[in-house]
């Protein structure tokens, strides 16, 4: 840019405010090179332009948003993103920590952690092995432990895994799985709910079915139906007798 004052005192004052004491002044590449006072040498300007063309140009993303605010006012928003950012995803977490067996409708706590090569904050997503995944949870500092609780409504074996994502949306792969065996909340055939299947359970069923007055019901009721036919009767008593005292033992209790 070439500037001159043409004897205008206001222009001269503005030049002084910007420390522009030489006229004309040429700024090349936004002022990276400055040629003050002018020159008749084409080489001087040419070299400055060639030098500017050889400078490293960063890979930047520019987004400009214009908003009309009314009253002859326009809001201009510049967003510049450095596209040269080199970001590594978080390390793959180890298998989650937590129980390997439990019962339905009981809440259990699981833990996971990872480190991020760039020391970014991280988020965790859990896969509970039943088609259900959590939202992204966080943020956590690199190396910090994420704790999460979960319970299953159905018995079965579930593979629990976790993955990590950093603050720049770079994701790790899924962790190795923690296998969790979930059993019913009662022991089939344990009619008196003492965590064992023996003569006491047989007597408990006899008292409930034939007692006068009637004995206490099985706890829970499903535990007293070891032949899984939907009724608690003599057949269930015989099933337990065969299982406990048979030689070889009778069929294992199989409740609904």
CATH of the domain at 173: 2.60.40.10
**Number of domains within the chain:** 3
Locate all alpha helices (DSSP H) within 18-70, ordered by sequence: 42-53
Residues 171 and 112 in one domain: yes
Measured between alpha carbons, how far is 231 from 205 in angstroms, rounded to an integer? 12
Please report whether residue 91 resides in a domain: no
pTM of the entire predicted model: 0.54
Residue 45 has pLDDT above 80, yes or no: no
pLDDT > 90? residue 52: no
The predicted pLDDT at position 34 comes to: 74
CB atoms within 10 A of CB 158: 20
Closest CA to 218 of 239, 233, 154: 233
pLDDT over threshold 50, residue 242: yes
The verdict on residue 226 lying in a domain is: yes
Alpha-carbon distances of 73 from 65, 66, 67, rounded to whole Å: 14, 10, 9
The 10s digit of each residue's pLDDT in 215-225 is 999 988 999 99
Which one has a higher pLDDT value, 59 or 4?
A: 59
Residue 194 three-state SS:
coil
In DSSP notation, 199-252 reads: HHHHHHHHHHHH-SS--PPPSSGGGG-TT-SS--SHHHHHHHHHHHH-SS--PP
Domain range spanning residue 195?
Answer: 186-256
Of the candidate ranges 15-24, 121-130, 169-178, 227-236, the one whose mean pLDDT is the lowest: 15-24
| pLDDT tier, 174 (very low <50, low <70, confident <90, very high otherwise) | very high
Single out the residue in 183, 207, 232 at which a domain terminates.
Answer: 183
pLDDT in tens, 6-39: 556 666 666 565 555 556 777 666 666 777 666 7
To the nearest whole number, what is the mean pLDDT of the chain? 87
């Amino acid at each position: 840019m070439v500037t001159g004052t043409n004897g205008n005192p206001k222009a001269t004052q503005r030049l002084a405010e910007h420390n522009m004491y030489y006229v004309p002044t040429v700024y090349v590449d936004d002022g990276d090179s400055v040629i003050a006072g002018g020159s008749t040498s084409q080489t001087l300007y040419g070299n400055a332009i060639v030098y500017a063309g050889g400078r490293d140009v960063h890979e930047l993303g520019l987004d400009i948003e214009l908003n009309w605010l009314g009253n002859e006012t326009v809001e201009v928003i510049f967003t510049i993103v450095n596209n040269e950012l080199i970001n590594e995803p978080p390390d793959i977490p180890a298998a989650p920590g937590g129980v390997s067996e439990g019962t339905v409708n009981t809440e259990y706590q699981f833990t996971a952690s990872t480190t991020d090569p760039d020391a970014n904050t991280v988020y965790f997503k859990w896969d509970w092995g039943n088609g259900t995944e959590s939202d992204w949870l966080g943020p956590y500092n690199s190396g910090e432990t994420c704790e999460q609780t979960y319970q299953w409504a159905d018995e079965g074996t579930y593979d629990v895994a976790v993955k990590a994502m950093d603050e720049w949306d770079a994701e790790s792969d899924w962790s190795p799985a923690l296998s969790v065996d979930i059993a019913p909340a009662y022991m089939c055939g344990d009619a008196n709910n003492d965590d064992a299947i023996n003569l006491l359970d047989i007597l408990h069923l006899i008292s409930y079915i034939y007692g006068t007055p009637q004995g206490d019901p099985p706890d829970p009721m499903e535990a007293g139906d070891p032949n899984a036919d939907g009724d608690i009767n003599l057949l269930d008593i015989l099933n337990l007798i065969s299982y406990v005292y048979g030689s070889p033992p009778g069929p294992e209790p199989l409740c609904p």
